[in-house]
Amino acid sequence: MELSQCLPFWGSLSKEQQCLLEQSTVLNHVSKGQIIHNGTEDCVGILVLQTGQLRGYSLSSEGREVTLYRLFERDVCVLSAYCMLNSLQFDITVAAEKDSVFWRIPPNIYKSVMEQSAPMANYTTELIASRLSDVMWLLDQILYKHLDSRIAGFLVSEARLNGENTLNLTHEEIAHHLGSAREVVTRMLKYFANEGMVELGRGKVVLKDVDELERIGNESLR
């Protein structure tokens, strides 16, 4: 796969602009668990994922986490280049959920080309709008759903993502995805286990009744 295949505006750039981007782009290999972008400590740039899986999350000063979005093959991460946009006023962390390979375009280079190119700027607008939609979805979940519904929905979507009903996740990891506390997640998982919907093991959750979990996952508050 080439960088140019992942960037739909590529064909509209001049040869000079294409060269500038290609020459400054670096291919990175990271291992599962590695932190790629850490709040405002760095401004690593635009990430274009070749293989693997990345997770963008918010981290509170007290160590609580909530998953904001996930990135898969060919996805582009723009929030790790926050210094490129004056109006991005918040901290996120981006980490590898699987061993991953990605291109990194330095923020100043990306910005200098984007300022010249309407197609590239329009594409970037869509990227930011897409992240806004992710966060709006999350806000909706938090405001209008009970935690049982959010956990059930999360388990079903993780099983689909991984293509199997055994999830290698600790209760703490689930809490981090959902912005909740471990004790609260443990209590709810035990309830699901008592009802026969899941089986719990050390560092894993096995889904036994996906239909029922899905039904609960679709419930709204009240």
**Residue 138 sits in the site that holds a copy of itself (CB under 8 A):** yes
- Residue in 14, 31, 116, 157 binding a copy of itself, rule: CB under 8 A: 116
* Residue choice 11, 23, 143, 202 for contact with a copy of itself (CB under 8 A): 143
- For β-strands 198-201 and 204-207, DSSP reports them as antiparallel
Return the H-helix or E-strand segment holding 177: helix 171-178
The DSSP secondary-structure symbol of 13 reads S
Choices 22-30, 84-92, 150-158, 194-202 (CB under 8 A): range interacting with a copy of itself = 84-92
Measured distance CA(215)–CA(143) in Å, rounded: 19
User: Least distance (Å) from a copy of itself to the CB of residue 221?
Assistant: 7
Smallest separation, CB 133 to a copy of itself (Å): 4
Which pairs with CB-CB distance under 8 Å and at least 24 residues apart come from 171-177?
Answer: 174/205, 175/65, 176/57, 176/64, 176/65, 176/66, 176/67, 177/65, 177/66, 177/67
Q: Which is nearer to a copy of itself, 111 or 167 (CB)?
A: 111
Q: Is 118 near a copy of itself (CB under 8 A)?
A: yes
Q: Report the C-alpha gap between 2 and 15 in whole angstroms.
A: 16
Binding of a copy of itself at residue 90 (CB under 8 A)? yes
Nearer to a copy of itself, 90 or 191 (CB): 90
The owner of tokens 């330095």 is: 106
Binding stretches for a copy of itself (CB under 8 A): 58, 60-62, 64, 66, 85-90, 114-122, 124-133, 135-140, 142-144, 179, 220-222
